[in-house]
Structure 1
Amino acid sequence: MRTFEYIRAADRADAVARARRGARFLGGGTNIVDLLRQNVEQASELVDVSRLDGAICESDGGGLLIDASVRNAALAAHPLVRRRYPVLSRALLAGASAQIRNMATVGGNILQRTRCMYFYDVEGARCNKRQPGTGCDALDGFNRYHAILGASDQCVATHPSDMCVALAMLDALIHLSGPDGERSIRLTDFHVLPNASPHIETVLKPGELITGVELPPPSDAVTHSEYRKVRDRSSYAFALISVAGGLALTDGRVTEARIALGGVAAKPWRAARAEAAMIGVAPTEEAFLAAIREELAGAQPLSGNAFKIVLVERTVVALLAALAGAHQ
């Protein structure tokens, strides 16, 4: 680990100005410090943004505004989140140990990098995400945890966040501030698939800072939502697959369906095809299975993770069936 200078940002403008000169942002440090310690990344200057505004409040339209420096534990426990956006609270609680949730920030969670073992193996593994053009050892290596959707022959890593899967399901909006001013982008458009440039993971411009997350007013499918995570052990572990789902019914038919998947791609995967396939149908397990199979039709499993296809199918069906049963 190389030495670096630590600076506490006075405000957002100060943080953006320092980043423009090459500094890196530091939130809770639960990911970037590991990356620096293992020499996966380098920084000469870290700007601490964890002490900037950290509020959670209602928006004028009935949604929720969440500052980027809010801790994951505080967000999961907030009464409005638990009541109106239960899927988000449950995803956060499934995402890490209590100690990490107490430190990790919303902005840092969104920007955390893959936990692919080859990405972290600086001395012994090839990784196009870490060093473009060197190759991807996961393609023919240990790839149990890797992508089945949206991958490329350059990279098959997955995004590790649980929170982001819920945010994708909720149509969350990410607010950014940078040298060119402020802008907003949907969470589903914020992370990018690897294609030929796996080292480019988001649409962030140089010097831009995530300032907050905005959740739209909750619909029926949002208030009737759930998060399920399948992992190798029940204690703190990253997902093999995860599902954020919500369902609304009228007169025995599906009127709104929301599904996002984790552990299957380089970004939280919004299952738009499956959602569309469920509108207007009776909420049966057969209908749910047919819908998610439409989403998975283009899946390309690797040598060690073909089981993920069936795992996604079973988890989606079980989650939606439970939500449908709760409506009755």
Structure 2
Amino acid sequence: MKNFTYQRPAQVREALALAAAHDGTRYLGGGTNLVDLMKDGVEAPTRLVDVRQLPLKGIQLSPGGDLVIGATATNSDLAVHPEVRRHYPALSQAVLAGASGQLRNMATVGGNLLQRTRCGYFADTSQPCNKRTPGSGCAALAGEHHNHAILGWTEHCVATHPSDMCVALAAFDARVRYETLDGVSEIPLADFYLPVGDSPQRETVLPRGALITAVTLPGSAGGLRSRYRKVRERASYAFANVSVAAALDVHDGVVRGARIAFGGVASRPWRAREAEAALRDAAATPDAFRAAADAELAAARPLADNAYKVALARNLMVAVLTELTDRAELTDRAELADRAE
């Protein structure tokens, strides 16, 4: 462990000033990812600015009906919050699928957004990795890559984004609010993560020294039937082989709107825009869901050992959408029965 300075500011502006004044500063939330990377020698900050005491823990509805989630709210608080469970159930399910209770009690929402890939070559400083050491190469291309990307990758990096929470946030069109010494800004999550390109070490659009202060979920996404499902190699808190977050609006057997995002298939949460477009005004049937999945996955480029992810993603999406449709039909029948009485 290399020596570093530790500071715990009480206000956001103080934290921003500390980060601006010192190169090598990293913000520390729950530390569930950063501290591990420091132990492995992947990260070596010279200064840690602990943000857990900043007034950013709240989860509340805005006057306009959006749900504003403070960046230092823990994953545990997020998963059990009544507004989240009632209006954005896929988000609660994703957080609960992501880690053990002990980790959820420590991990923060802002930190979850910024967690690094769990690619074994990234964590092993003896191996080449463009994300860790730009220009060194990507060992996973010819190495162990059965759980790596099938969409959006380049020869510079085939790692996947590890977050469950962010997959659900992507489906709900979340926005990320951050602050610098120049003021407050907000950006859609869809634009927050950078494509791999030839610079995989640059993962987000955050300016240097910026601090995430909140995540906002639009009220228009609340209330839809939604579901998060994750396929992993063991039942006990493993990272996703493939996951799906979906919200579906079905009326009289026709899809009026769909929100779908995949996890475990790309360097960022993958919003399935092609599938959503294919489903609009389509019959809510497994055949239509399968065709929509195929439209999205037509761009997949599996590696030698992860082609299984294409079929897995297709089948998982069909299963989740079918489950949501069945729930919608049950609800419609119950409403008709109530009216008849």
TM above 0.5, yes or no, is yes
Partners of 1:103 and 1:325 lie apart in 2 by 36
Is the aligned partner of 1:255 residue 2:256?
yes
- Structure 2 counterpart of 1:236: 237
8 Å CA contact 1:83, 1:223 repeated in 2: no
- Structure 1 counterpart of 2:16: 16
Shift of 1:218: 4.1
Secondary structure, in 3 states, of the residue corresponding to 2:287? Answer: helix
- Structure 2 counterpart of 1:194: 196
TM-score by length of 2: 0.94
Secondary structure, in 3 states, of the residue corresponding to 1:240? Answer: strand
8 Å CA contact 1:85, 1:218 repeated in 2: no
- Structure 2 counterpart of 1:270: 271
Partners of 2:205 and 2:168 lie apart in 1 by 20
Partners of 2:282 and 2:302 lie apart in 1 by 29
- Structure 2 counterpart of 1:225: 226
Partners of 2:138 and 2:230 lie apart in 1 by 27
CA deviation string 1:189-220 (max 9, x = no partner): 10112110000000010010000001100447
- Structure 2 counterpart of 1:115: 118
TM-score by length of 1: 0.98
Superposition CA RMSD, Å = 0.9
- Structure 1 counterpart of 2:178: 176
Secondary structure, in 3 states, of the residue corresponding to 1:298? Answer: coil
Q: From 210, 216, 232, give the equivalent of 2:212.
A: 210
Partners of 1:115 and 1:180 lie apart in 2 by 33
Shift of 1:249: 1.1
Letter aligned with residue 153 of structure 1:
E
8 Å CA contact 1:171, 1:215 repeated in 2: yes
Shift of 1:223: 2.7
Partners of 2:87 and 2:327 lie apart in 1 by 16
Structure 2 gap segments, 5+ residues each: 330-341
8 Å CA contact 1:26, 1:46 repeated in 2: yes
Question: What is the number of residues matched between the two proteins?
Answer: 326
Larger radius of gyration: 2
Q: How does 1:1-328 map to 2 (within 5 A)?
A: 1-21=1-21, 22=23, 23-53=25-55, 54-123=57-126, 125-219=127-221, 223-328=224-329
Give structure 1 regions of 4+ aligned residues with deviation exceeding 4 angstroms.
none
Letter aligned with residue 168 of structure 1:
A
8 Å CA contact 1:84, 1:218 repeated in 2: no
Partners of 1:3 and 1:239 lie apart in 2 by 34
Partners of 1:36 and 1:158 lie apart in 2 by 20
Q: Percent identity?
A: 54
8 Å CA contact 2:255, 2:283 repeated in 1: yes
Structure 1 gap segments, 5+ residues each: none
